[in-house]
Structure 1
Amino acid sequence: MAPTYLIIGATGNIGRPLVSLLLSHPSQPTLVLPTSKPAEQLTSTLSPGHDISRVHAIQGSIQDPNFIDGLLQTHGVTGVFMAMTGDNELFTTVNIISSLERSKTVRHVVYVSSCGNYSLDAMRNGALKNMNAANVAPKFFVEAKFKYGVAPRDDISGRGLSWTVLGPTLFFSNDMGVKQVMLEHGVFGQPLGSKGVSRVHPQDIALAGLKALEDDGQRWGGKKVMVGSLKGYTDEETAKLWSEALGKTIKPTLSNQAGFDACETGFSKFAGPAWGRTLRLMLEQFAEEGIMMSEAEYQDQIALLGKEPESYEKFVEATANAWKEA
């Protein structure tokens, strides 16, 4: 029997490629896509040639637990993918988990967190010391809820819920936000520090989501899988890559008071001051700690994806060539 997946975040950088992958998958899953926009607008963005008869785009708010309850029951959802963000991320996520636990059909959930060790032992050893970014901090509680507060699935009784957590690093696509600054001013507009930041293609996160949904908790249930490059890129290395690809000098934005101030001010102009400060705090943590994964974590990722992750160097080169040709 073909699975039915609820995809939360279907219009985002991860959700869009995941939906495309699922619609091309031989298991022919049915997809339930909650949307705050008119359902017709969402389905119109799907790639030509996809069988949209298996897509149920339903208008409503994921912040409404009754809406989520209705989707799970009406469509007999068997698996859930959650890529959450926004001001109410923790509030909404906890309510959704509660709905999943009460569901009689949902077997497995895949949750997109962030790269890092968010265990209780890690927190006791200082993992929260530099964790002030409001878009990352909720993920500590959500991971703890899955690990310590959700009854594991019992295939005999049919009760409980299995889960897989994905821990992506810094998206390749974030660089698109500093395109204008690079081309017009010769500056990579995000201070990444000198400790090293792993990078990840959203397509790889989507592929990890597909594989984890397909696995249904058999191998990867109860585990967190990091997704990204083994290498960490410093501000100097990142600026050098873009310089070589664009054929012009690109200077890094340094991780100092001036660099953080400029980044916060720029981001606040279009995302608002709360998100401007959140981005600044995240970048300050990168400068203090970096964001990396171990060799063992990297190998787990390869085992899940079935391939090496996409190359950041190749992304920079291809993107720069596209900009030059435009």
Structure 2
Amino acid sequence: MSRRILVTGASGTVGRQVTAQLLEAGVEVRALTRGPADLPPAVESAHGDLSVLDSLHAAVEGVEAVFLVWPFASAEGLEEMLGVAAKHARHVVYLSSEAVRDHERQAEQLIERSGLAWTILRPHAFAANTLRWAEQIRAEGVVSGPYGEAAMSLVHERDIAAVAVRALTQDGHAGAVHELTGPHSLTQAEQVRVIGEAIGSPVRWAETSPEDARRQMLARGWPPEVVDGILEAQAEMTLGPSPVTTTVEEITARPARTFRSWAAEHAHAFRATT
């Protein structure tokens, strides 16, 4: 009987890559979706919602493992969801983050106590997060923001997915916490320069004050606690290079992809249309 894995967040940045790589490995994939989703034809869709327990029983039936993206800012309801999953699955791979925010820490603790074998992924900042600058770069060739010297070890979503797939399909990852980074620490100013090189047009960083950035984010409707958390984290990142791990290479037997390679793949998103 072939193995079947349930992927939550299958249309997201990482989940889409997990789905594709599982299919490439010959694994049957069931995706939990709340509605129509643009997924490969080989994927079995299971309509449900992580917050609605009754909708999950059919989704987890017959699956061997679960790739879990918990999309809520609270761990409320996760324990019950894990209880449903544990009736069928043996292993859960949870996408946490290097920041291990309060709700992520609570989620990790609940997963460790769930009775399931577990693996926790803690990626550093996603390379894909730089897509938030695309509009500014297309319009002006400039990115305005505070803390241009904030350093990050940006990780490619394919590498996060590659580690997840191995944890889902291979032995040796139960009880492991994998911290994932790219191969280099780059400041935000360096990141925009690399994007400029990828699109063949200079892009520069324009430093603004944290106070201006805070006002702009609040005007967009962001909660004050989220805004303050982001700015505090960026301020801390200016203190020196971001840590770099070799976890991706150790698990996948290939070096982690560089931000330069990610920028080249996504150059079309940053180029001005004519």
Give the TM-score, by structure 2 length: 0.85
Q: For 2:65, which of 76, 79, 89 is the aligned residue?
A: 79
Q: What does residue 304 of structure 1 align with?
A: 251
Q: What does residue 243 of structure 2 align with?
A: 293
Q: What does residue 204 of structure 2 align with?
A: 250
Q: What does residue 33 of structure 1 align with?
A: 31
Paired residues in the alignment total 270
Q: Which sits farther off after the overlay, 168-177 or 234-243?
A: 234-243
Could you tell me how far 1:64 is from its partner in structure 2? 0.9
Q: Distance in 2 between matches of 1:289 and 1:323?
A: 25
Q: What does residue 121 of structure 1 align with?
A: none
Q: Which sits farther off after the overlay, 314-323 or 229-238?
A: 314-323
Q: What residue identity is the alignment partner of 1:109?
A: V
Q: What does residue 222 of structure 1 align with?
A: 175
Could you tell me how far 1:137 is from its partner in structure 2? 2.7
Q: For 2:187, which of 234, 243, 253 is the aligned residue?
A: 234
Partner of 1:90: helix, strand, or coil?
coil
Post-superposition Cα deviations, 1:249-302, rounded to whole Å, max 9, x if no partner, equal: 42244462223433x147x2xxx433x7525522421322469435xxx22321
Percent of matched pairs sharing the same residue? 21
Superposed counterparts of 1:1-326, under 5 Å: 1-26=1-26, 28-29=27-28, 31-37=29-35, 41-42=36-37, 45-47=38-40, 52=42, 55-72=43-60, 75-87=61-73, 89-101=74-86, 103=87, 105-116=88-99, 136-147=101-112, 149-150=113-114, 160-189=115-144, 191=146, 193-215=148-170, 218-245=171-198, 246-254=200-208, 256-262=210-216, 264-265=217-218, 268=220, 272-274=221-223, 278=226, 281-289=229-237, 292-294=242-244, 298-320=245-267, 323-324=270-271, 326=273
Partner of 1:165: helix, strand, or coil?
strand
Structure 1 residue runs without a partner (length 5+): 119-135, 151-159
Structure 2 residue runs without a partner (length 5+): none
Q: Is the 8 A contact 1:82 1:110 kept in 2?
A: yes
More helix by share: 1
Post-superposition Cα deviations, 1:204-231, rounded to whole Å, max 9, x if no partner, equal: 112111111012xx31111111122142
Could you tell me how far 1:316 is from its partner in structure 2? 2.3
Partner of 1:32: helix, strand, or coil?
strand
Q: Distance in 1 between matches of 2:123 and 2:172?
A: 19
Q: Could you say what the CA RMSD is over the residues aligned between the two structures, in angstroms?
A: 2.7
* Cα gap change, 1:137 to 1:179, in 2 (>3 Å): same
Could you tell me how far 1:325 is from its partner in structure 2? 8.0
Give the TM-score, by structure 1 length: 0.73
* Cα gap change, 1:244 to 1:33, in 2 (>3 Å): closer
Q: Is the 8 A contact 2:195 2:260 kept in 1?
A: no
